[in-house]
A = this chain, B = another copy of it.
């Protein structure tokens, strides 16, 4: 155990909900080392959180513990999950939050967090982040065997994502997320593009906007140009050099993107 616990929530940075989770963790394991991945997930946006966790958590060392709480179903019968994926530990409500990550790399261990022995004694019906996930994470960081958390779970709730269609001279995907620079990150991977020419004969279209060629980096084109490139996470992205593509093009998550060559 590294004692590293990351937190991803929609509680807003600076809210007392985040502080309460940290306080509960540190009251159980005063040596836990807390990393805020994000508390600015849009309220109850499980899809956003699923992408964020899939992009963030695998960078942390094996043994790290990742707690993600975006939980519109708190207090209902939805289950709480523990998953071990690539040697890392994950705790989240079973609402699809971990499903994108698990689709890439299947869990070696999946457990329903059901054993109340490791929860706070008093469990509210509105704040499982503080009352279930925080104390369980703290105890895992102290070496608690995850098998004790509850019975094995056979499956998890899946989110569905638009399918990317790869054809002979065309790929149809969509904008999956928008980063903080306003770059449009698509669901088209570098693998799908491996046989696609980078030259200007390849066109990339999003809404009514089009650009030619797939470039290496932003500075390959002049300021204010729409450019396509393979981003740092291995997905095709569309960017306006030196500005926000999302703001300038008025494009949102879900918009179709077509690559032709």
Contact = CB atoms under 8 A, between A and B. Distances in A.
Contact of A30 (B2, B12, B58): B2
A38 interface: yes
Nearest to A181: B43
A61 B232 contact: no
Nearest to A182: B43
Report copies per complex: 3
Interface string A1-44: 01010100011111111011011101100100011111111011
A83 B17 CA distance: 24
A26 B75 contact: no
Contacts of A179: 15, 17
A152 to B, nearest CB: 26
B126 A217 contact: yes
A124 interface: yes
Interface range on chain A (Cβ under 8 Å from partner): 35 or more
A35 B22 contact: yes
A218 B19 contact: no
A162 interface: no
A30 B4 contact: yes
A61 B20 CA distance: 11
A155 interface: no
A201 interface: no
A64 B19 CA distance: 13
B55 A20 contact: yes
Given A19-B56, A217-B74, A244-B43, A231 B27 contact: no
A61 B244 contact: no
B74 A218 contact: yes
A75 B19 contact: no
A176 interface: no
A19 B57 CA distance: 8
A73 interface: yes
Ranked 7 nearest A-B pairs via Cβ: A75-B217, A23-B59, A12-B180, A14-B38, A127-B232, A19-B56, A125-B217
Given A16-B55, A72-B219, 5 more contacts: A11-B180, A14-B39, A23-B61, A34-B35, A73-B219
